[in-house]
Chain A
Amino acid sequence: MTLATLWSQSASFTTIFLGILIEATPFLLLGAIASGLIEVFVSQDDLARIFPSHVLPATIVGSLLGFIFPVCDCGVVPLTQRLYKKGLPVSAGVAFLLAAPIVNPIVIASTYAAYGWGRVLISRLILGVIVSFSIGMIFSLNGSHTNMMRQVFVYSAAPHPEQVVAENRSLIKRFQTALRIGGDEFFNMGRYLVIGSMLAALAQTIVPPHVLLDAGSGPLSSVIVMQGLAYILSVCSTVDAFISLAFVKLFSVGSVLSFLVFGPMIDIKNTLMFLGVMRPKMVFYLILLTFLLVTFLTVFINVVLGW
């Protein structure tokens, strides 16, 4: 490899790296601030009121909760961790973690902008709920908070919880605390975003995405290729609908759906964020189960429904 090639490859790498970072930073920030607001303004009792005690309905609520939180896959990790500390059941948390990046209002709006009202938009949402609910339920079989999460919870500028929700705090001070917690959360998750973006940019320089596109043509291989592409592109779910438009000419609807469902749930950057807060074995299962379930459902769409 000549010096000139090395130079141009580094320049490409930097452009892709900064591109992912610039695109994702606003969404991580929104998620971090949402996390701070939840910490200050939502108490454990509030959460207990919303969530049914039985595991099945709790998991469904977890999946559907995503409809009201405008966070993408970067922002959802600090938020879920924060909800766990407030006592959210494990299954509901996993369901929320997987569903929120798909069923949230911004993603719905961008998918609508790209595809209009039709089977892509509707299927994306339905698949998102099915997959997140199923995997949430699977995790409820053996998951407890201590099994799932790493012991190191890093918080700062967060005093004793009772103090935070105390009535005698002025609204301004509570907002200030929420913003500070949001800032800390941004730094905490931000390091995974930076490293994840670097890895994703590296992956794309080594395996150019358009090369992957030529690789898959059968009903199964195209689904695997689409999910692999979603993994290395690591684009925020709020904008990935536009990216997927380029694939519509080459791939079936079922395969494009696998990109649109797997990508928001699992990619390089949020794998790193998961590893930051969850035990590695749990992250592995999360990724494996999501991959298998999305593959199964979208191959079904390809082969049986013929979309």
Chain B
Amino acid sequence: MNSHWINLVKAGILLLFTVFLSLKFFSGKIFDYISPRFGWLAILASGLFVLIAVAYSRSDPNQEEDHDTNHQESHSHRLTKWPLIIVAVPIVLGIIIPAHPLGATDVANQGISTDISAPSVDLQSSLTIIPSQRNVLDWVRAMGANPSPSALNGQQADVVGFVYRDVRFDTDQFMVARFAVSCCVADARAMGVVVQSSQSSQYATGAWVRVKGAFINGTLNNSPIPVITAAEITPVAQPNQPYLYP
């Protein structure tokens, strides 16, 4: 009786995992933590948790009618309560506390760059996208393909990202940036495109904006680099999926 109740608690905790993973998956929030290419793993895990929960909830498969109940107690659960508590806590917290995707304040941890190593296949696919539909990642790859600072001159950009700046940036400059994640948070790296605008100071670091403008030959911290002269900057809401996935 006692051991069956503990099994039901275990089943309950595993079902919490299923709820957590499913909630995150179907809301898209799980992709704040892992790349979509691994989303299926979360679904697989959810299914397996349900299977195990069912195995726990049904009657003990090894209990025989003539089995001595005292003997059963001696095989009783030496799995103490601590593993159950420790495992349950992050999931409860994860369900209650809203997701916080990586943002401007995480750049200090994760690093930011204006170029990104990409296999050449992805590079080609970025270049085939017409300029007005390219995102920040596509532009960074385009810059990687042709490092000359005037390579993108005249091309029109229309990108969404968060505002980032550090000591390298002049007062009328900022970077419109996104985090790129190829596997999971561990490899999340911010990258972006420098924007030049007289209205830069109106936009706080971390705010999400949409920037439209043309590329010119500019400089960042005295190094030549393609820069967008912003014709139009509009504040936008943080996208449902803030990361880009190379």
Residues of A in contact with B (beta carbons under 8 Å apart): 8, 11-12, 14-23, 25-27, 29-30, 33, 154-160, 163-164, 169, 172-177, 179-180, 182-184, 186-188, 190-191, 194-195, 204-205, 208-210, 213, 233, 235, 239-240, 242-243, 245-246, 248-249
Contact = CB atoms under 8 A, between A and B. Distances in A.
Contacts of A188: 79, 83
B44 interface: yes
Main secondary structure of the interface of B (DSSP, over half): helix
B222 interface: no
Interface string B161-201: 00000000000000000000011111101000000000000
A177 B189 CA distance: 44
B52 A235 contact: no
Contacts of A209: 109-111, 186
Contact of B86 (A23, A179, A186, A190): A190
B90 A243 contact: no
B158 interface: no
Contact of B33 (A8, A22, A204, A248): A22
A179 B42 contact: no
A8 B61 CA distance: 49
B135 to A, nearest CB: 19
Contacts of B23: none
Given A26-B41, A176-B61, A246-B117, A184 B33 contact: no
Nearest to B30: A22
Given A19-B33, A159-B75, A179-B51, A208 B84 contact: no
Nearest to A22: B33
A48 to B, nearest CB: 25
Contacts of A22: 21, 24, 30, 33-34, 42, 184
Interface stretch (B99-107, B124-132, B209-217, B228-236): B99-107
Interface of B: 7, 10, 13-14, 17, 21, 24, 30, 32-34, 38, 41-42, 44-45, 48-49, 51-53, 55-56, 58, 60-62, 75-80, 82-84, 86-87, 89-90, 94, 97, 99-102, 105-106, 108-111, 117, 119, 182-187, 189
B56 A183 contact: yes
| Nearest 6 A/B pairs, CB to CB | A19-B185, A210-B111, A179-B55, A173-B61, A26-B45, A8-B105
Main secondary structure of the interface of A (DSSP, over half): helix
Contact of A191 (B53, B86, B109): B86
Contact of B55 (A183, A210, A246): A183
B79 A239 contact: no
Nearest to A201: B185
Contacts of B78: 154-156
A11 B100 contact: yes
B34 A23 contact: yes
Contacts of B184: 19-20, 22-23, 235, 239, 243
A208 B107 CA distance: 10
A176 B185 CA distance: 35
Contacts of B100: 11, 14-15
A213 B55 CA distance: 46
A242 B109 contact: no
A183 B52 contact: yes
A184 B7 CA distance: 10
B183 A239 contact: yes
A187 B111 contact: no
Contacts of B90: 17-18, 21, 194
B75 A158 contact: yes
B185 to A, nearest CB: 3
B190 to A, nearest CB: 10
A179 B105 contact: no
